[in-house]
A and B are shown apart, each in its own frame.
Chain A
Amino acid sequence: MTTLAIYSNKGGVGKTAAAVNLSYLAARTGMKTLLCDLDPQGSATYYFRVKPKLRSGAKGLIKGGKQVFRSVKRTDYENLDLLPADFSLRNLDIRFNKLKRPQKRLRRILAPFRDEYDLILLDCPVTISILAENIFNAADFTLVPLIPTTLSLRTHRQLLSFCKKKNFDVGRIYVFFSMVDRHKKMHRELLAAAPKMLKGVLESPIPYLAQVEKMGIHREPVVVFSPGSEASRSYQNLWDRIHEIVRSTDASDVTVPPGIPL
């Protein structure tokens, strides 16, 4: 079982679109997948047409156990489940701070799911506080979407120094470029230079495409409603890279689906 956090300390970078499409692609390979929508805005939840509601809200989530288990919804896609967002998650930071040893609570909350799923994806809100520490403690890998701009790179450096300060292994942080516009000179130049400037860059950028934005209308992963599109191909390439990383570290077998009940 692998836990993968899709995280950014900057908003509007295509984090949720990546989480939705990657979780769908993972499930399609036969991996039992759980997407946890930790963002109170609940966009991933919205894309999967699920009501943004957790049993007992953020309080129930922090408590962990049965309530969290019972909040899980099966999406319309085989092997893919969703732990929906809830508006009360906006206070997650405050709630974590009230705990005695808060840094590893998220890891504990997710522990019961380890046996059931092959992959847990965390769609994270923008944060660089105690919640971020929880995320880094819970995840085996962190995937950071970056728009190829100098400002984005600066924000990313801030994240890396935060991680170093907190003693998190920065070797487990991967980066992919998101919302790439090849008409822009800066995007092209940064894309070319990035692998030398940064470690862990996955060379599978996601272009800025209208198809991705249309996910809000279709309320489906772009890979489902527009399978042949450039957007779908890009997410597929990105997933292939991530899948290699997951496979190289996780030897557990993928379960055989049971077929039709006789």
Chain B
Amino acid sequence: MLSLANRQPILGPTKFTRPGEYDVEQFIHELSDSYTVKKERVRTETVRIYDTFDWRLFNKSLVLYSSGDKLHLRKLSEREILYSVTIPSVPVFVWEFPSSRLKEQLAAVLDVRALLKLAEIHSRSMPYSLLDREGKTVVRLVYEEIRSSRDRKAPSLAAHLRLEPVRGYSKHFQRIARRFEQAGLTVSTEDEIYFKGLKASDKTPGSYSSKLAFQLDPAMRADEAAKVILRFLLRVLQVNAVHIEKDIDTEFIHDFRVAVRRTRAALGQIRSVFPAETTERFKKDFAFVGQLTNELRDLDVCLLKEDAYKAKVAPVLRKDIEPLFDYLRKKRSEAFQKVIRGLKSKRVATVLKDWEVFLDTSPQDSPVAANAGVPAITLAQKRIFRKYKSAVKAGTRISENADDKMLHVLRIHCKKLRYLMEFFASLFHPEAINSLIDQLKRLQDNLGDFNDLRVQEEYLLTVARQLPVNREGSEKIFLAIGSLVGALAGDRKLVKNAFAETFADFAAPANKELFQNLFAGQTSLRTHDNTGHL
């Protein structure tokens, strides 16, 4: 709560909270000693709050809400509306929006994620005009009650008096604001309704993110640290699994896959912290869970790129590629059903249940695995530095005419290194580790683009073999696919050309020194003798 006493005169609309048993009618009546109080017509309004599942707008301090047929975007804790559009119903994806500044702003934040209606708030406003001796409105006063349902008996989430200045009559506004304060009303924070509305709908802003967010302790046992990481990943996996079935957008399956991949990487890279047979079993199990979704993700990637692909096809063949996407869409719906069946299968249920039980079991006092009792920081440093060295070694061997397989090997090394750095990021100085992650990310982007293009070319060629050809003239589709594959191969060449320079940055002595300082310098932290095989 803010106090009026220490503030500059407020000139914008100001909300005042109503103390619990405060008689608003009585208070407004008391104002009639200086003004004629005119009661205006009661207004009701429904406000809907939107965001993505992973709170992309909230994370950028943005609030998107509809009121009537208007959709507004504003900054959290700021009154001013950035952009508004008139829209009959709120689209799910940003590309469905009409061209506008709002669309541009949202596109940068939402990307391919669906907009979800997270809360609905119902407001009932009783406006009053305060008139001077001329009968002119000099201040407006609105008593507003907010509920999460239209039912007036439903408990009110918030009730406040909103004082609205009238241009040219600021003295009256300030006079009444002072009277409010003397009567014990306090200025309420601007986003109270946003948070209360979401809370009433059981939503907590920022509650989900696929980004790794946990704090490890350098001295904690490595097996405990591994379990913290893996429990977080399991939660991400479970949250997304629940939503995959609703087929809201492609990112639930994507986040699910990333969590599976990270789990597999953690099992493989945070070595010898669990009994060998346990690690082996779950490595296999999660490989199985991951491959269940491979086909669906490949199809999603192709369909998300539909417009970009069409633009790459030679203009004369552009309409001939249309049937390819119809075919992919059909295949996608089959693949989607397959994923749903797979995720509901007994095997997946058993894997996830057994995994949860294992993660929730407290570690034994005398560790069985060689690295289980090692301090987390020691294991983290050793593993990261070793992986960095293997990445540099693998990259150095790649010459201009090197086989594409070598790039693939380097990509896998880098991926594992990235995961390790992210798993243990909380043990290091954020600035230092983040700058190294950024450097690595640049290399990964290059390798990732190269791999994506290669996979897409192969995928399109595979699909071409499966395409049913029974219409006359349909052979043109193969020409169109050929044209697209040719364009992708051209792009891939450009990406490959950029590799040498990107890798040189990554493997540069200065960067190596940073890696060394952070991951090979603090051997004194080692407190356990049983270092085992790292």
List residues of A whose CB falls within 8 A of some B CB.
Answer: 48-51, 70-74, 76, 81, 219, 256-262
> Are B167 and A258 in touch, CB under 8 angstroms?
no
Task: List 5 additional contacts besides A71-B168, A259-B67, A262-B72; criterion CB under 8 Å.
Answer: A73-B166, A219-B135, A260-B125, A261-B79, A261-B162
CB-CB nearest 3 A-B residue pairs: A73-B168, A49-B136, A74-B167
Measured CB to CB, the closest approach of chain B to A183, in angstroms, equals: 35
A262, B63: Cβ atoms closer than 8 Å: yes
CA of A47 to CA of B168 in the docked complex: distance in angstroms? 17
Give Cα distance in the complex from A49 to B169, angstroms: 13
Of B49, B123, B168, which one neighbours A74 at CB under 8 angstroms? B168
Contact assessment for A258 and B81 in the assembled complex, using a CB-CB cutoff below 8 Å: yes
Q: How far is the CA of A118 from the CA of B135 in the complex (A)?
A: 27
Please count how many residues in chain B sit with their CB below 8 Å of the partner chain's CB atoms.
30
CA distance A259 to B134 in the complex (A): 29
B359 contacts which chain A residues (CB < 8 A)?
none
List residues of chain A with CB within 8 A of the CB of B13: 261
Interface contact tally, CB-CB below 8 A = 58
A50 vs B132: C-alpha distance in the bound complex, in angstroms? 10
For A258, the closest partner residue in chain B by CB is B81
Name the residue on A nearest B86 (C-beta): A256
Bound together, the chains give a CA A74 to CA B140 distance in angstroms of 12
Chain A residues with CB under 8 A of B408 = none
CA distance A258 to B84 in the complex (A): 7
Residues of A within 8 A of B168 (CB): 50, 70-74
Enumerate B486-533 residues with CB–CB distance to A below 8 Å.
Answer: none
In the complex, are the beta carbons of B134 and A49 less than 8 A apart?
yes
Bound complex: CA A219 to CA B45 (Å): 31
CA gap between A219 and B67 in the complex, in Å: 33
Name the CB-closest residue of A to B65.
A262
B81-97 vs A, Cβ < 8 Å mask (1 yes, 0 no): 10011100000000000
A69 smallest CB distance to B (angstroms): 10
Min CB distance B421 to A, Å, is 40
Across the two chains, which residue of chain A brings its CB closest to B170?
A: A70
Chain A contacts for B86, CB-based, 8 A: 256
How far in angstroms is the closest Cβ of chain A from B201?
15
- Among A49, A72, A219, A259, the residue within 8 A (CB) of B167 is A72
Once bound together, how far apart are the Cα atoms of A262 and B81, in whole Å?
Answer: 10
Whether B85 and A256, one on each chain, are in contact in the complex, defined by CB atoms closer than 8 angstroms, is yes
Question: In the bound complex, do residue B70 and residue A76 qualify as a contact, i.e. CB atoms below 8 Å apart?
Answer: no
21 A/B residue pairs, CB under 8 Å, sorted by A: A48-B136, A49-B134, A51-B134, A73-B166, A73-B167, A74-B166, A76-B129, A76-B136, A81-B167, A219-B135, A256-B70, A256-B84, A257-B70, A258-B70, A259-B70, A259-B81, A260-B47, A260-B67, A262-B65, A262-B74, A262-B194
Instruction: Let me know if B370 is at the binding interface, CB within 8 A.
Output: no
B194, A73: Cβ atoms closer than 8 Å? no
A9 to B329, alpha carbons, bound, how many Å? 74
Residues of chain A lying within 8 A (CB to CB) of residue B79: 261
How many Å lie between the Cα of A81 and that of B67 in the bound state?
Answer: 25
Which residues of chain A are near B162, meaning CB under 8 Å? Answer: 261
Q: Is B68 an interface residue (CB 8 A)?
A: yes
Q: Which residue of B lies closest to A48 (CB)?
A: B136
Smallest CB-CB separation from A76: which chain B residue?
Answer: B137
CB interface residues, B 220-261, toward A, < 8 Å: none
Instruction: Report the Cα distance A258→B137, complex, angstroms.
Output: 21
Docked Cα-Cα span, A246 to B166, in Å, equals 28
- CB-defined contacts of B194 to chain A, threshold 8 Å: 262
Q: Which residues of A contact B70 (CB under 8 A)?
A: 256-259
- Give A257 to B194 CA distance when docked, in angstroms: 21
Which of A71, A81, A259 contacts B72 (CB under 8 A)? Answer: A259
Partner of A260, one of B49, B123, B169: B123
- Tell me, rounded to whole Å, the shortest Cβ–Cβ distance linking B160 to chain A: 11
User: Are A73 and B169 in touch, CB under 8 angstroms?
Assistant: yes
Q: Find chain A residues with CB under 8 A from B167 CB.
A: 72-74, 81
